[in-house]
Structures are given as structure tokens and as C-alpha cells.
A and B are shown apart, each in its own frame.
Chain A
Amino acid sequence: DADVTQTPRNRITKTGKRIMLECSQTKGHDRMYWYRQDPGLGLRLIYYSFDVKDINKGEISDGYSVSRQAQAKFSLSLESAIPNQTALYFCATSRSDRGIYNEQFFGPGTRLTVL
């Protein structure tokens, strides 16, 4: 089945370390997204990309950067991790031809803990 995968699934790191979370998809979708989920806060958009050369900041981009290496790959980096970046991170994809319907398909998530 076409799918959205994330690596790693779990990561524990220390304050100040650089961390990269990776997302790959076989759905053939052109749009990709990174969200973080915190208890009681729902999902908040970090970055989104409409294609390889179109990357945009979301609601909470400070402290994060992204790279769209190919249509199928979208990586999220924490340049210098801090404890309040401890969260569950989700990658999602969607098709541009769906326009404003924007149904998104989610990966299984990466649980990141920053000590």
C-alpha cells in the first residue's frame, strides 16, 4: 500500500544536540507537512511544502528547519534541541488537485524527548 513513513519512531536526545526527523511517502502526493502534537494542544503546523522548491513556515517554525530533498522526502531538523521541543511529531501529505478539500494523510509519528 502507498504509505507515509517516518524515521525514527522514537528518539531521546540531549539539550543542544542537532536532530533530524525524516519522512518518506509513496503516495505520489506533492504536498507535505510537519506537525507537532502536544497533550491538550492538538496538532500545530511547523512547516509545509507544496513542491520541492516551495517551502513555507507554519504556526510554530522557530527552532526548526526543513529540507525537501525530493517530492517523496521531507525532513525536519532541530538545530539545537531544547526540552520544550519534546513532543510527538507527525508528517502528512496531500494532493494539490484536491484544492481546498486538503484531505491529509498522516505518518505514524516520531516521539522525541529532549533531556
Chain B
Amino acid sequence: AQSVTQLGSHVSVSEGALVLLRCNYSSSVPPYLFWYVQYPNQGLQLLLKYTTGATLVKGINGFEAEFKKSETSFHLTKPSAHMSDAAEYFCAVSGGSNYKLTFGKGTLLTVNP
């Protein structure tokens, strides 16, 4: 069984500030972890993924995430928020069953000028 918890359904930051979106997972097997972004009126787009190897993963648009097995976390960060980062972000986990991608409930990021 696997599950994802995203802490904070809504995060608000100022333009230029650090973005930190939290994701904790539960998985009975080694997990594969994903962050997706959903811009208004669009589908989900992959930001980054962790499969194996380096635990610090870099994605598109300056985002990165670090896989911490001891903390069962995969938090998403960006050093400096931009207005265009305003969107909903979903963390997801896959592993074990070879089809299921389990999503968190999402975090809406608002960027204030």
C-alpha cells in the first residue's frame, strides 16, 4: 500500500521568496516519487521525478526536490518564486504494483507581488 500526504493545502509566498512545498509518503517498497504542476485550466505537467540514484532531483523552471528516505519525504523547493509559479502542485508515489500512481491532495501555491 502507498499513500501521499501534502502538508498545507494552500501556500502563499511573496515574489522572490523561497518556495517550500511539503510531501511525505508511505510505501511498503522502494518508492518512485513525482511532482506534477497544474496551471489554471490545464492538465498536469511533470516537474520532476525521483527513481533511483541521486537523491537531489532537479526539474523544470528552477524547481528541485530531495528524497529523504529516513524522513519519508520528498519536499519541493525553489529559491526564488516567480509570479508564473502560481499553480497547484501534486506529489505522487509509484512502486510495487506496476501501474498505480497515488496522488496527494494537492497544494495551491499563490505568489504575491
Contact = CB atoms under 8 A, between A and B. Distances in A.
Interface of A: 4, 31, 40-45, 48, 50, 90, 92, 99-109
20 contacts: A40-B105, A41-B105, A42-B104, A43-B44, A43-B90, A45-B100, A50-B99, A90-B44, A99-B98, A100-B94, A100-B96, A101-B32, A101-B49, A101-B94, A102-B32, A102-B100, A103-B49, A108-B42, A109-B42, A109-B43
A113 B81 CA distance: 34
Contacts of B49: 101, 103
A102 B2 CA distance: 14
Interface string B12-35: 000000000000000000001010
Interface of B: 9, 32, 34, 36, 41-46, 49, 51, 90, 94-101, 103-106
Given A102-B94, A107-B43, A40 B34 contact: no
Q: Would you call the interface of chain B mostly helix, strand, loop, or mixed?
A: strand
Contact of B9 (A40, A45, A48, A102): A40
Contacts of B9: 40
B43 A102 contact: no
A74 to B, nearest CB: 14
B43 A90 contact: yes
B95 A42 contact: no
